[in-house]
Amino acid sequence: MSDSTNQKILLKSYPTGEPKESNFDLVETAIPEPGEVYLR
């Protein structure tokens, strides 16, 4: 299993005026292990 994490920034709310940090959310999730790839 990998110790790596994926980080993404999500929009929590639409800003009115200048965007603030409270309008966004930083989410960290584990990166899944690669599985089998099927080519068609």
Q: What pLDDT, on a 0 to 100 scale, did the predictor assign at position 29?
A: 92
How far apart CA 3 and CA 5 sit, in angstroms, is: 7
Q: What pLDDT, on a 0 to 100 scale, did the predictor assign at position 35?
A: 80
How far apart CA 8 and CA 27 sit, in angstroms, is: 5
Q: What pLDDT, on a 0 to 100 scale, did the predictor assign at position 2?
A: 55
Cα torsion 31, 34, 35, 39: sign? positive
Q: What pLDDT, on a 0 to 100 scale, did the predictor assign at position 28?
A: 95
Question: Cβ distance 15 to 24 under 8 Å?
Answer: no
Residues in the chain where the model's pLDDT stays below 70: 1-2
